Structure 1
Amino acid sequence: MINPLRPIWAALRDVFDEFLLLLGCNLIWCLLSLPLIWVAYALISAGQTAPAALTMMVGVLPAGPATAAMAYVANRVSEGRATRVGEFFGAMRTYARQGWVLLGVWMLGFLIILIDIGFYLGVGNLFGSLILGLWIYLLVVWMALLIYIFPLMALQEQFSLRLIARSAGLMVVGRPIFTVVNLALMLLVIFGSLMVVLPIFVITVAFLNVWSVRAARDLIEDARRRRGEAEAEEAPPVEEKGRKGQVRPK
């Protein structure tokens, strides 16, 4: 079993080593992504659900490339490679389409799940409760996918949405304890940062991205190790070379 706490400790070391770089990238991400998120929050607070959902989808336009670029920087940091803040903008241009696709699909699914949960909260019978439980379970899985999809994008040589979705799904389903522990800790960090406010602008987003990359890498390395062990067990035994079948002369 993989230690579910290993990614967070590795991410903390990475953040300590590259704090200024990640601080700069974190600020850029916040400037690009947070304004529309705040608008959506204000609309939800005013009871304007449909405009809030539309605002969140429009928010994918700046947040998609910014999140993809953050994953790119986080991946390089996890590899110990020298990176400059200027590379963040280059990664935004390079991974713009990938960011729009990944975050757009995820956000659309997220909003659909929230709408269905809101609907079944008003159904006061047993059937409604069962369906509500299924949607809540799907919400947890959907949020867990966000841990892996952008790191997998950064690790891919050629973008494939199907391969990313398949790999992320296998990670979530194949290592549920590892995933749930990391998701719970990430949500705790997010809520704590929102309470204090300042960490969101300083390091929280960058830290979560490095953490996600570390988690994805741990699962990939574990899968390769288990595959190697399985292939070694299935390999035919090698016969010892010697004088087998030979007659020793008298």
Structure 2
Amino acid sequence: MDHFSIDNIRVLHVDDDSGFADIVSEFLEREDDAFSVETATSVDDALTVLQDARVDCVVSDYDMPQKDGLDFLELVRDDYPGLPFLLFTGKGSEEIASRAISAGVTDYLQKGTGTEQYTVLANRVRNAVRSSRAETAVRRTEDRYHNLVDTAPIPILLFDHNWEALYANEAAVAFLDADSFTEIAGKKASDFLHPDDREAARKRFQRLMREDISVPEREYRVVTVEGETKTATVATAPGYYRGEKVAQAMLYR
């Protein structure tokens, strides 16, 4: 079962050809009963729909009077930066595709002939919504993590697979005598360890990342950004941050 639900997908389809818009709605809803499609025949009408209702994905034509699909895309990105937006257009060119990508389009699909194009469109919409919901879930998890950890009383740092610092809470920044995380970001864990402790720490880190298990606590001599040496017991556990596997280090004095 997909961890990220793709039920109840509300699609806004924008096309100045109302007859074609009706056909797209019919085929999409026939392709997947999870789809609920609302149509708009102008960008202004579409913006009103976005303000008044929940929309999971926008499908828009390019060649429309007054405001075209790229104008619409730019307006949507201003107010709904994460909303999936598919350009579904009969007017295809490398220039339009390039401009759409630069403006933040999620996908680009040229209209074709036959009903197969609606199957392709349905798949693209499903994939875009699935990715969007997965990213939203990751952001929510990160928000919960930060709410819990940012003000935790013990120093906590996260390191990526290159042993570089991705995150440090307020207590860790203070423990390392830094003014802000900027002084820590991107530095390797070894930069904060006494030279005689680095090899043992490196082996523990490699084991954690390889076996995906917590490693026993160990006392280390930690060197701050000011060059002061502090003794700390370090507990290290695997975790995930922004979809990336990380090592989470907690320091106890």
Q: Do they fold alike, i.e. is TM over 0.5?
A: no
TM-score calculated relative to the size of structure 1? 0.31
Tell me which protein shows more strand as a share of its residues: 2
Whichever structure has more helix as a proportion of its residues is 1
Structure label with greater radius of gyration:
2
Higher relative contact order (CA 8 A, sep 6+): 1
